[in-house]
Chains A and B, each alone.
Chain A
């Protein structure tokens, strides 16, 4: 009798322990469901519904089939926003990588103030993105903007450049701003990868007669490739969803010439109150972002398995 009571007790304890383990996990599971699973599923549902300001009060609206997708994807602004998001992402990543890698190489050389300079490089990454957008809007202004004043002062231009009013220039300002934001991230990660390149290997290459360029291309680049891949995939994921910078800098203008997918989807949902159309464009954005997911998860496979040591 005593034994069975004890084993019953032990069984209860095991169950309690298992319950306790789940209690640790429960808030996270609840949060993932509420903040990620529900919004994604609901977004897909919305994209097939005929929504209107009147349907906001209810969570459901009449079924609309694929019409949100047809209407949204035939809209020239949405079309060009999708194309622009791609060109914007590719150009951003290209320049962020080149500039970030260049800075990382410079930081590998010992010079005075190196540590200070390395920490100051982080600053652009930490600012609120919207504030960065507003700051660059100020800098690129026609009259009081520092960029025009500097260009005029150096006699590089004779009249102030209309960064805000010309579509081509406006796109360039958003691009420059986004590159500015991403450079710290590329610099820091590529720098730490370069630090991991064994000095003996570079020395051996030097002794074998490899010049600086060959050491860079044949030794350093292949060795930092895994990190470079992770940084580029992460950079892709940040950049396709750029929103705050555009809103703060140009608001998507002039004449929708700087709309990206995220900003145009916002416009459809929250300016035109067509949540279904916004959701349809969101689904497109989601698919583009998730296209990077298999690559991203594969690159992070260590954290999935849990064997980080």
Chain B
């Protein structure tokens, strides 16, 4: 009797926890739902409503039509920046992580220590200095300049996470390959790289999202005359057309799309990166 009631109580507890968790997730995701709804509404509907309507009163695609025609080039710029950031991060981090995991250097401790400290460094500090340095080097308003700055979000995290992953790889497999006559380079490209694939995908994803989401470097290093990523264009958009929220929210949908798609397509890599202690901003 008491065993039954304990089981029943436990089932009730699980049901309550489930309801609570789902309600919390619903509250957490409501802002994004509201953005999607607003993106399908005209401005007069948005401002005319005295109460919140959970569905667009009159469904319109006009916001998306306007945004697609005006903002397409900004989406392309963001894609170039994000892909460039991912490529540069991999080019720097993959060899470095391998070297730090496999060989002993006098500077290993110093370098990993500075990478940890670099993760702490506020981006505004980097932006303030790099702006003046870039001015001198003529790197302002250029893709390479912005990509280098954006890689500062991801490179320390990428090296540290990948190195930890590579340290945990079975060492005897690599040693056996070396005994069988493989060169160091072959051991790296044919064994270490394929075995590190999950970690490499994780850091590439985070570098991509960092490049896509960057605002502070775009704000400080671009004057908007050459190219503009989506984050910067949303910011200028609400500055200039602060009352046109339907269009601004349609643009916001485009800006959050990559994150949503990556979460669906590569969820386990994202979760892995988050658990590894990714640092952003």
Contacts and interface: CB of A to CB of B under 8 A. Distances in A.
Q: Is the interface of B mostly helix, strand, loop or mixed?
A: helix
Given A123-B260, A126-B263, A309-B167, 15 more contacts: A36-B118, A38-B129, A59-B136, A106-B20, A109-B18, A110-B14, A130-B215, A130-B231, A136-B31, A141-B245, A144-B38, A146-B31, A153-B52, A282-B124, A285-B125
B125 A286 contact: yes
B9 to A, nearest CB: 11
24 contacts: A22-B99, A28-B92, A38-B133, A39-B126, A46-B128, A113-B18, A123-B28, A134-B234, A134-B248, A137-B238, A141-B245, A146-B31, A153-B52, A237-B119, A241-B122, A241-B124, A241-B281, A244-B216, A265-B124, A275-B128, A285-B125, A303-B160, A306-B108, A309-B167
Contact of A31 (B103, B124, B155, B185): B155
B200 interface: no
Q: Which 8 A-B pairs have the closest CB atoms?
A: A111-B18, A128-B213, A28-B96, A241-B122, A39-B129, A24-B99, A149-B52, A109-B17
A262 B124 contact: yes
Given A28-B111, A238-B279, A297-B116, A123 B32 contact: yes
From A46, A128, A230, A296, residue with most partner B Cβ within 10 Å: A128
Contacts of B275: 188-189, 192
Nearest to B213: A128
Contacts of A42: 129, 132-133
A219 interface: no
A223 to B, nearest CB: 17
Interface in A1-30: 17, 20-25, 27-29
B168 interface: yes
Contact of B249 (A138, A269, A309): A138
Interface in B23-82: 24-25, 28-32, 34-35, 38, 43, 46-47, 49-52
Interface in A247-303: 247-248, 262, 265-266, 269-270, 275, 278-279, 282, 285-286, 289-290, 292-293, 296-297, 300, 303
Given A123-B29, A243-B281, A275-B128, A135 B263 contact: no
A37 B234 CA distance: 32
B112 interface: yes
Interface stretch (A68-76, A87-95, A114-122): A114-122
A253 B208 CA distance: 31
B131 to A, nearest CB: 8
Contacts of A37: 114
A129 B112 contact: no
Nearest to B115: A32
Contact of B122 (A58, A114, A146, A285): A285
A102 to B, nearest CB: 8
Nearest to A242: B281
Chain B's interface size range is: 35 or more
B122 A262 contact: yes
A80 B34 CA distance: 34
A59 B49 contact: no
Interface in B175-207: 184-185
B215 A247 contact: yes
B152 A244 contact: no
Interface of A: 17, 20-25, 27-29, 31-32, 34-40, 42-43, 46, 56-59, 99, 102-103, 106-107, 109-114, 117, 119-131, 134-139, 141, 143-144, 146, 149-150, 152-153, 180, 183-185, 188-189, 192, 230, 234, 237-238, 240-244, 247-248, 262, 265-266, 269-270, 275, 278-279, 282, 285-286, 289-290, 292-293, 296-297, 300, 303-304, 306-309
Interface of B: 13-15, 17-18, 20-22, 24-25, 28-32, 34-35, 38, 43, 46-47, 49-52, 91-93, 95-96, 98-101, 103, 105, 107-109, 111-133, 135-136, 148-149, 151-152, 155, 159-160, 163-164, 167-168, 184-185, 209, 212-216, 219-220, 230-231, 234-235, 238, 245, 248-249, 252, 255-256, 259-260, 262-263, 267, 270-271, 274-275, 277, 279-281
